Amino acid sequence: MPQAEYREYLYPSDSPRLSAIRGMDPYDYREAAKADPFTGGLIRGWKPLQLAEFRGVTEDGILRPEVHVREPARPGEEAPVAAMVAAARGLTAALDEDGRTKLSHPVDAIEWQTWSNPEFLQFDTGIRLEFQSPEVREKALALVEASLSPDGFRLVHDMMLINGLLGEVVGLETILNEFSYNFALYGSPDLVAPWGWQLFGHHCAVNCLVVEGRMVLSPVFLGAEPNEIDAGPRTGTVAFTDRIRLATDLMAALPPELRATATVYRRMVDPEMPPGRVHPGDERHLAGAFQDNRVIPFEGLRATDMPERARRILLELAESFVSLLPDGPRAARMREIDDHLDATWFSWIGGHEVGDVFYYRIQSPVLIAELDHHCGVFLDYDTPKPFHIHTVVRTPHGNDYGRAYVRAWRERRSAQRWSVSRPVQVRRSR
């Protein structure tokens, strides 16, 4: 089998990039990251955004709550809530009292917003899986599996396994391993009332909420460096090939003038970009960690201006990003995306031929989906490579973390209680 491309970019094992942090545990490394000029700069830059009052991502700063209609799940679109509740109870039963306390937060807790995707800890929310027993790890993954589609769970777990492979390859197993992730519960597992869970760590962050059978799965960050496993029992595993293929197919389906309209910058680092367009950590991503309230204007090409074949591919591409959802919620999500297709935009940065590196974004009032090729972090290259990929999914206008649905649920419950408790006014006849 030919050598995987990423292995051409390995640092020497005694490189200061690796040796300076080798052997640190996550908490030692957290302090080292704060002191490092690069990672410390990232942390300081994100700090003003951390724990800000949640509003939601918008395209113009104006919230449109009407795009998130509060209703129970329609028949055939229900989330697998019973299986999720059983799995969540199995997890809490496997923990001691201290573990259950660390694990659990109120359903609308600000801790939802503490997820991040770098390898260094910024918030130690919930329980850290690498320091838990095999049973607890298994139960946490069982809840993830009970919530997602089979392909979705496989992709999430592959991100964790690839992280472990990277740690082995570069000799940083105490910082990068299969269980270098935090896990938290929000609310009390229930068949109807809102609750959810959160998994986050290097290259993998998933936020899941259910209420009345409906599921919201966002923000989601999935990434990989490299995007394949080329050693061990999972050899041959690859990630994001569908999101790459469909994207280049979409660009190929556009006539040249529309392709030019979709392409907002021709180079990954383009002299025409405004200052700050390429972030030192996020690179071209706009909707990553700590960007819960960001204003991201529409740009590129409207879906309504695409030829029919390109619009079909656009919907296939959108579905690849929401494929983590099980069948019922995925059908509901695609109906929502399709209903807003006339207000959907597609933008592109970089080359568009097979093998090129690029960034793209699908954006509508109900979806942001991004993919970006990145520079090296634990491998030695300073321009984006095809095997280092980051992806982001958001639900704009206030429904990340299911917040819009939780708010509507509480308002309705409050109105029902007020209606029941209100004294009946009896009109007396004279």
Q: What is the pLDDT of residue 148?
A: 98
**Is it the case that residue 109 has pLDDT exceeding 90?**
yes
**Is it the case that residue 428 has pLDDT exceeding 50?**
no
Task: Determine the average pLDDT of the residues in 84-112.
Answer: 98
Q: What is the pLDDT of residue 412?
A: 87
Task: Determine the average pLDDT of the residues in 399-424.
Answer: 80
**Is it the case that residue 124 has pLDDT exceeding 70?**
yes
**Is it the case that residue 114 has pLDDT exceeding 80?**
yes
Task: Determine the average pLDDT of the residues in 116-132.
Answer: 97
Mean pLDDT, the chain, rounded, equals 95
Who wins on pLDDT, 70 or 338?
338
Task: Determine the average pLDDT of the residues in 422-429.
Answer: 50
How many residues does the structure list for the chain? Answer: 430
**Is it the case that residue 2 has pLDDT exceeding 70?**
no
**Is it the case that residue 411 has pLDDT exceeding 60?**
yes
**Is it the case that residue 423 has pLDDT exceeding 70?**
no
Bridge partners of 210, per DSSP, are 195, 215
pLDDT digits (tens, 9 = 90+) for 224-245: 999 999 999 999 999 999 999 9
* Amino acid at site 193: A
What residue spans of 221-302 are helical by DSSP H?
241-253, 256-262
Cα gap 30→39, rounded to integer Å: 10
What residue spans of 73-175 are helical by DSSP H?
81-94, 97-103, 134-147, 150-170
Q: How confident is the model at residue 426 (pLDDT cuts 50, 70, 90)?
A: very low
What torsion, rounded to 10 degrees, do the Cα atoms 163, 169, 171, 173 define? 30
* Amino acid at site 119: E
**Is it the case that residue 16 has pLDDT exceeding 90?**
yes
Pairing mode, strands 389-394 and 195-201: unpaired
Give the number of other Cβ atoms within 10 Å of residue 265's Cβ: 18
> Is the N-terminal amide bond of 37 cis, ω within 30° of 0?
no
Q: What is the pLDDT of residue 415?
A: 73
Token couple for 321:
């990003």
Token couple for 386:
């095809």
Tell me which DSSP letter residue 51 carries.
T
Q: What is the pLDDT of residue 420?
A: 53
**Is it the case that residue 335 has pLDDT exceeding 80?**
yes
Question: CB–CB of 112/198 below 8 Å?
Answer: yes
Residue 217, judged by CB atoms within 10 A of its CB (0-12, 13-18, 19+), counts as buried
Q: How confident is the model at residue 413 (pLDDT cuts 50, 70, 90)?
A: confident
- Give the E-state strand segments of 202-298 in sequence order: 204-211, 214-224, 263-265
Q: How confident is the model at residue 430 (pLDDT cuts 50, 70, 90)?
A: very low
pLDDT digits (tens, 9 = 90+) for 50-82: 899 999 999 999 999 999 988 899 999 999 999
